[in-house]
Amino acid sequence: MNPQNTKHDPASLVNKQLKQWVQEINELCAPAAIYVCDGSKAEYDRIMAEMAASGMAIPLEKRSNSFLFRSDPSDVARVEDRTYISYPERDQAGPTNNWVHPDELKRTMLGLYKGCMKGRTMYVIPFSMGPVGSPLAKIGVEITDSRYVVCNMHIMTRVGTRVLEVLGAEGEFIPCLHSIGAPLEPGQQDSSWPCAPIEQKYISHFPDENLIWSYGSGYGGNALLGKKCLALRIASAMARREGWMAEHMLILRLTNPQGRQFHIAGAFPSACGKTNLAMLMPTIPGWKAECLGDDIAWMKIGPDGRLYAINPEAGFFGVAPGTAYNTNPMAMDSIKENVIFTNCALTDDSDVWWELMSPPPAHAIDWKGKDWTPDKDYPAAHANARFTAPASQCPIISPDWEKPEGVPIDIFIFGGRRASVVPLVHEAYDWDHGVFMGATAASETTAANIGAVGNLRRDPFAMLPFCGYHMGDYFAHWLAMGDRLGDKAPRIFYVNWFRKTAEGKWLWPGFGDNSRVLKWMCERFEGKVQAQESPIGLLPLKQDLDLTGLKLPADNLTELLKVDAAAWKAELPDIEAHFKKFDSHMPARLSNQLQKLRERLG
């Protein structure tokens, strides 16, 4: 830290609580210097240049102001089994979360934090989740010894002096403490990706205190604490206490040819096309889509009684493999410059490459830094390789994506990857039925998930790894929000783009053609089209799905809209077992919905 530059000196902090906390962490972690981030471009460029000079960041000549990082092979993804939701009582965390008592967890982590930043700079990152000053936004401060984290937080959140101004002398913030857990002794050579061994990694949340402690990992959601840690795990607990919603949802605006806007929020487990839907390019003439967010939605009831949503993030932290011009051209156009790439392959002409992006290069350096050619029997990029890019660079980002009051949500969508059983789309009969659909959401596992391929995994509301309290209570919160919203509640739908024939061929083209299903939802919202009742919900009439210009065989459409009662009956025991996990916290209203489904199936 330059002592002459008082702006970056912790003594310049005016918030009393923040100043005291920084002092405490300084004494605990013993860094060589302290630096308060101002969020400027000059700051970002200087810190990135330091990492490039050390060899940690590789400049990419093909993409302006873009850099490639290679993480340690032990530090490549979120570590769910080292992620904890810590309440005084195990029951408060529920059966879906790892739990350790706060006293025990803090004792363990304080031992690890002692002196953990020796030889490193301690960065203080004031950040806003949501537009700075928005009534829906929250302020966090991340303390970290990772320059990689500083630069990623610059992109993923709103960082800097303006945040401190809004915080003021008495404002509240969410403290987020992070260390890579790799102190440096004098003269010691630093690693290209410093981190602690897996058994020392801890990503800990104390929802009663709005507190996040992370140790040992430098990667993704383990280290960028504004993302899943704050925006979902802590925020979901805050939202329940304060009467709003923090959801793992994309936000999309659709505008019909008459100029009417519809706002859609959608929750999907991993590998179910969430980012592709967030950046949809409609294939039906006259319809326009705009992206407001690809991952997280914070929603509060507005003065008119409707639900308003903001995207609390400022960037995209996207999975690179599989992203290509034929799957998501808008994502590809978003990552042409000013991007941080992690664990992608490096081409000989100084660009990045990953599987399915384009034809493979004749030679590349893989994510582990080794020579790679297409004849190798392993991928060049890690399956969880990432890009961090400013959301403002997306060609179809909505002009209202940073609107402080948010946008009014008309429609909720849930979905999963199912080769059979679940039809292309169905609508909930009412709010309780829609919550039941979200609570029973399931997907067949893919190679990207843990577990055998094809196993059915229940992932309620796509929140399984992210709910910061007992999931049964989370279901009850959804029901309570519906009671408050009344007739102004969004309509709820369930989709499945992934139906296959018995021979394993896709029944539905997906991607931009999913706009045809969204059009039907919008017309249902407007009351323009009827629907047919089925045991599982309301289905489209065949003539109401706009298939103009789509060569879809009639048999495909019949199969896509079919409800096989026998197959659904076979699902009931699995849903019952799923609900049983939540024990006394399971809302009776959802058990009721299960009984109603059973009766409708006959």
* DSSP code string of 234-302: IHHHHHHHHT-EEES-EEEEEE-TT--EEEEEEE--TTSSHHHHHT----STT-EEEEEESS-EEEEE-
Can you state the percent helix, strand and coil of the chain, rounding each to 5? 35, 20, 45
Q: Phi, psi (5° rounding) for residue 544?
A: -90, -10
Q: How far apart are CA 22 and CA 122, in angstroms?
A: 9
Q: Report DSSP state, residue 401.
A: T
Helix (H) or strand (E) holding 411: strand 411-415
Question: Is 272 known to be catalytic?
Answer: yes
C-beta separation of 541 from 532 below 8 A: yes
Burial letters for 374-396: b for 16+ Cβ neighbours within 10 Å, e otherwise? eeeeebbbbbbbbbbbbbebbeb
C-beta separation of 525 from 411 below 8 A: yes
Please compute, for residue 287, the number of CA atoms within 13 A of its CA located in the half-sphere on the CB side. Answer: 24
Q: How far apart are CA 333 and CA 281, in angstroms?
A: 13
Active-site residue, from 151, 272, 291, 394: 272
C-beta separation of 108 from 202 below 8 A: yes
Please compute, for residue 292, the number of CA atoms within 13 A of its CA located in the half-sphere on the CB side. Answer: 31
C-beta separation of 312 from 378 below 8 A: no
Residue 513's alpha-carbon distances to 252, 482, 523, in angstroms, are 15, 31, 16
Q: How far apart are CA 164 and CA 139, in angstroms?
A: 9
Neighbours of 65 (CB within 10 A): 14
Residues with Cβ within 8 Å of 529's Cβ and at least 6 positions away in sequence, in order, are: 520, 523, 540, 541, 544
**Residue of 506, 525, 519, 511 lying closest to 547 (CA atoms):** 519
Q: How far apart are CA 51 and CA 38, in angstroms?
A: 18
Residue 85 pairs with which residues in a beta bridge?
205
Please compute, for residue 586, the number of CA atoms within 13 A of its CA located in the half-sphere on the CB side. Answer: 21
**Residue of 312, 227, 231, 321 lying closest to 271 (CA atoms):** 321
Residue 136's alpha-carbon distances to 140, 169, 176, 403, 540, in angstroms, are 13, 20, 19, 10, 36
Rg (CA), the chain: 24
**Residues that are catalytic:** 272
